[in-house]
Amino acid sequence: MAILQIRTFPDSCLHAPSRPVERITPAVERLIRDLIETMRHHPRCVGLAASQVGSDASVAVVDVTGHPKVFPRSARDFALPGSTSGLLVLVNPQITAQETWTIQREGCLSVPDFTGNVRRASRLHVSALDERGEPWTRWVDGFEAIAVQHEADHLAGRLFLDRIANVRTDVFRRKRYW
C-alpha cells in the first residue's frame, strides 16, 4: 500500500472522464487499497477518486465515519432500508435517483485553497461494484450522499467549482488546513 500524490487544479487529469473498470484485477485491488490509505492519511478527508491521483479508472472510496458534518442517527434511522455508514468502495458508480436538495460548503484535496457552496441531493440511490467486483445498490443520505456525489463528479471529470452558481458569492478562500 502507498500514500499517493494528490493532483491539484488545474491538472488536466481532473477534467478527464474516467473509464469503466471491466474487471477487478490485482492492479485495481491495489488502487483501491492505495486510495483508502491516501484518504485516511489526510485529516478530515471523506472521499477520494482515482482521477485525483492520476488514474483514469472509475474507482472512488468514501468514508464519512466520525466527520463533524455527520449528525448522530436515531435508532429509527438504522431501521431504514439501505441506511449505510462506514467505508464505501465505488467501482463504476451510477447515481440512479436523487431527492431532497441542499446547499452545503465543500472542499477538496484537489482544490486545496478554496471551498464553495454547492447544491446537491441529500438523499440518493447509488449502484456500483465493490472491491470484489460484486454489484451493490442502496440509498445513502445526508453528508454521505454529498460525499458520494462529489466523488462521482470527479469520475465524470468535474470539480465542485464546476457546480458553483456564483463565483463571487459562493467561493471562499480556505481559512484553515486540517
Segment 132-151, tens digit of pLDDT = 999 999 999 999 999 999 99
Compute how many other C-beta atoms are within 10 angstroms of the C-beta atom of residue 40: 14
Q: State the CATH class of domain 12-173.
A: alpha beta
Q: Please give the helix or strand (H or E) that residue 62 lies within, else none.
A: strand 59-62
The residues assigned a catalytic role are 151
Domain borders along the chain are 12-173
Segment 64-86, tens digit of pLDDT = 987 667 765 544 444 443 344 58
CA 68/CA 72 separation, integer angstroms: 10
CA 92/CA 37 separation, integer angstroms: 20
